[in-house]
Amino acid sequence: MNKPVRAKDLNVSQSQPAIEIRNLVKLYGDHAAVDDVSLNVDMGVFVTLLGPSGCGKSTLLRSIAGFAKPTRGAVIVGGRDITHELPYRRPVSMVFQDYALFPHMTVRQNIAFGCEMKGQTKAAIAERCRQMLELIHLPDVGDRYPAHLSGGQQQRIALARALAPDPVLLLLDEPLGALDLKLRRRMQQELKQIQRRTGKTFVFVTHDQEEAMSMSDRIAVMRDGRIEQIGAPEQIYRNPATAFVAGFIGDANMIEARVAATDRDMLTLHVAGQNWRVPAARVTAETTPEVGASMVVVVRPEDMRIADHGREGDLVLTARLDDRTFLGGRVRLALTSNEGLSLVAEVRQQDFAQLAERVEMRCSPADVAIVAAAEGNRTNP
């Protein structure tokens, strides 16, 4: 299964990025479903396109597959420009949310389909089907029809069918969306294992940020047809580049601030009637903001501490406790600061036991991210 991409057959090179998208635009009328997207993904990487409904994830994926014709830009797979190639000639396969298996064909015939299109020999196809059924842990269902399989089994067959022709890229458009939560979790792990074992490049689409965080090597966060940020899950969580990304990935306290002063490596922010000093390095945008600029201080709930006494330099807000939710060993608190900001914090249960009604919320300046305030963004969680 781990054999390299057959560069000779596919006219692609293993040393090139698996996919390179250059300034891709897809217009429907005058609406840009994909708006000048550029993206590079190395071979063997699990990359996820994540974003709200309508942000252009499927359109981007369909442009790579050849089911949508780009208005401008280029799609290059393994160094080969496929922008204008017919879908079935591309070294890519797609897996859909509704499986799209051929109902009148057996599982084996479904899996063999792509290999037959490529004119492989009967013996090679039979061997490939066997390998694929083994890969998805369903060695004995080859003669069954899709309607006689469960949703999870059908999705595994769809995966096997897509992988059988040995594509350079596997495109997966919300492949787990139709499964119930428990099965979905199991399939997430299985999909990830199959990706690791085959060493294939997966481009996976979801609007579920937890799914994206748990499965991906890289996440591209999309909004309104554009990629707002791309990076490893931890990087996107810790260093969101924009207020939108901060709010979309995980929970975040988003605290409005104005830049009061800048020096070489520290920033003074005016927040809720106080001055907060934070390292300039915690500004996640590329440029250092100017004095007077409107910013948002992003604080993850788990980085909020509740303590009357803290460390020198802590950022502090005094708040009233509104609500609590037990999450096993931890407690989630909803609070309102003296200035009226809604805040969330997650603390250990033992810390929570001693809470007064009014508390000091502290966080370390090293744990916050500073992003530009954007119009239309929520300022509270």
Ligand X SMILES: Nc1ncnc2c1ncn2[C@@H]1O[C@H](COP(=O)(O)OP(=O)(O)OP(=O)(O)O)[C@@H](O)[C@H]1O
Q: Which does 53 bind (CB under 5 to 8 A by kind): Mg ion, ligand X, none?
A: ligand X
CA-to-CA distance for 116 and 327, rounded, in angstroms?
52
Using CB under 6 A, list all residues that contact ligand X: 28, 33, 51, 53-59, 207
Residue 95 or 296: which CB sits closer to Mg ion?
95
Output the smallest distance, CB 289 to Mg ion, in A. Answer: 35
Residue 56 or 70: which CB sits closer to ligand X?
56
The DSSP H or E segment spanning 204 is: strand 201-206
Output the smallest distance, CB 295 to ligand X, in A. Answer: 29
Residue span 42-81 as binding mask against Mg ion, x where in contact by CB under 5 A, dash where not: ----------------x-----------------------
Q: Which does 55 bind (CB under 5 to 8 A by kind): ligand X, Mg ion, none?
A: ligand X
Q: Which does 207 bind (CB under 5 to 8 A by kind): ligand X, Mg ion, none?
A: ligand X
In this structure, the number of other CB atoms found within 10 A of the CB of residue 326 comes to 10
Q: Which does 28 bind (CB under 5 to 8 A by kind): Mg ion, ligand X, none?
A: ligand X
Output the smallest distance, CB 252 to ligand X, in A. Answer: 21
CA-to-CA distance for 368 and 370, rounded, in angstroms?
7
Number of residues near Mg ion (by CB under 5 A): 1
Give the DSSP letter string of 222-263: EETTEEEEEE-HHHHHHS-SSHHHHHHSS--EEEEEEEEEE-
Residue 4 or 29: which CB sits closer to ligand X?
29
Nearest to 155 by CA among 202, 100, 105: 100
Q: Which does 56 bind (CB under 5 to 8 A by kind): ligand X, Mg ion, none?
A: ligand X
Output the smallest distance, CB 164 to Mg ion, in A. Answer: 24
- Verify binding: residue 253, Mg ion, rule CB under 5 A: no
CA torsion, ordered 73, 76, 81, 87, to nearest 10 deg: -90
The type of residue at 1 is M
The CA-atom distances, in angstroms, between 379 and each of 78, 243, 257, 341 are 43, 9, 10, 9
Q: Which does 17 bind (CB under 5 to 8 A by kind): Mg ion, ligand X, none?
A: none
Output the smallest distance, CB 68 to ligand X, in A. Answer: 7
Q: How many residues does the chain have?
A: 381
Q: Which residues contact 174 (CB under 8 A, 6 or more apart)?
A: 97, 205, 206, 207
CA-to-CA distance for 378 and 258, rounded, in angstroms?
16
Nearest to 91 by CA among 16, 173, 33: 16
Residue 12 or 170: which CB sits closer to ligand X?
170
Residue 55 or 125: which CB sits closer to ligand X?
55
Output the smallest distance, CB 204 to ligand X, in A. Answer: 13
Q: Which does 240 bind (CB under 5 to 8 A by kind): ligand X, Mg ion, none?
A: none
Residue 58 or 93: which CB sits closer to Mg ion?
58
Residue 61 or 331: which CB sits closer to ligand X?
61
In this structure, the number of other CB atoms found within 10 A of the CB of residue 235 comes to 15
Q: Which does 33 bind (CB under 5 to 8 A by kind): Mg ion, ligand X, none?
A: ligand X
Residue 187 or 220: which CB sits closer to ligand X?
220
CA-to-CA distance for 343 and 272, rounded, in angstroms?
13
Output the smallest distance, CB 53 to ligand X, in A. Answer: 3
Phi/psi of residue 80, nearest 5 degrees: -105, 125
Q: Which does 167 bind (CB under 5 to 8 A by kind): ligand X, Mg ion, none?
A: none
Output the smallest distance, CB 70 to Mg ion, in A. Answer: 17
Phi/psi of residue 238, nearest 5 degrees: -80, -40
320: left (phi over 0), alpha (psi -120 to 50) or beta: beta
Output the smallest distance, CB 278 to Mg ion, in A. Answer: 38
In this structure, the number of other CB atoms found within 10 A of the CB of residue 325 comes to 11
Residue whose C-beta lies closest to Mg ion: 58
Footprint of Mg ion (CB under 5 A): 58
